Amino acid sequence: GNSVTQMEGPVTLSEEAFLTINCTYTATGYPSLFWYVQYPGEGLQLLLKATKADDKGSNKGFEATYRKETTSFHLEKGSVQVSDSAVYFCALILNTGNQFYFGTGTSLTVIP
């Protein structure tokens, strides 16, 4: 089947630390991959996406590279800020499907 596995949180980092949130996937076809972010009390917002192997999605200092050989889409940021505190979701959709598949989310707290 289709599924997304994220590293479990919560993750707590000091400001300016390096962030990695791991995401791996299983897909029966060819997926597009996404990272969504949810700030407290809000709905999810698209952070970045990649639609084919070796593509790199980037936004607001976050990056993720679509690695088909390792079925991974790890999220990274070189220097986190307090304002990055949120829950991050990895997701996929197949090129033949109508449904998104979300990971369970990883909570990030950045302390000053």
Partner 1 sequence: NAGVTQTPKFRVLKTGQSMTLLCAQDMNHEYMYWYRQDPGMGLRLIHYSVGEGTTAKGEVPDGYNVSRLKKQNFLLGLESAAPSQTSVYFCASSYSAYSYEQYFGPGTRLTVT
Work out whether 46 is an interface residue with partner 1 (CB under 8 A). Answer: yes
Instruction: Rank residues 18 and 39 by Cβ distance to partner 1 and give the closer one.
Output: 39
φ, ψ for residue 31, nearest 5 deg? -95, 160
Query: Which residue, 29 or 78, is less far from partner 1 as judged by CB?
Result: 29
Q: What is the CA radius of gyration of the chain?
A: 13
Least distance in Å: CB of 81 to partner 1?
A: 23
Smallest gap from Cβ 43 to partner 1, in A, equals 3
Task: Give, in order, the Cα–Cα distances in Å from 56 to each of 21, 27, 31, 51, 84.
Answer: 15, 19, 14, 9, 20
d(CA 110, CA 15): 6
The reply on whether position 102 binds partner 1 by CB under 8 A is: yes
Q: According to CB under 8 A, which one of 19, 21, 25, 32 is a site residue for partner 1?
A: 32
| Contacts of 59 by beta carbon, 8 Å cutoff, 6+ apart | 47, 48
Pick the piece of the chain touching partner 1 (CB under 8 A) from 10-18, 56-64, 68-76, 88-96: 88-96
Question: Is the separation of the CB atoms in 1 and 99 below 8 Å?
Answer: no
Please give the residue ranges that form the binding site for partner 1 (CB under 8 A): 32, 34, 41-46, 49, 51, 89, 93-100, 102-105
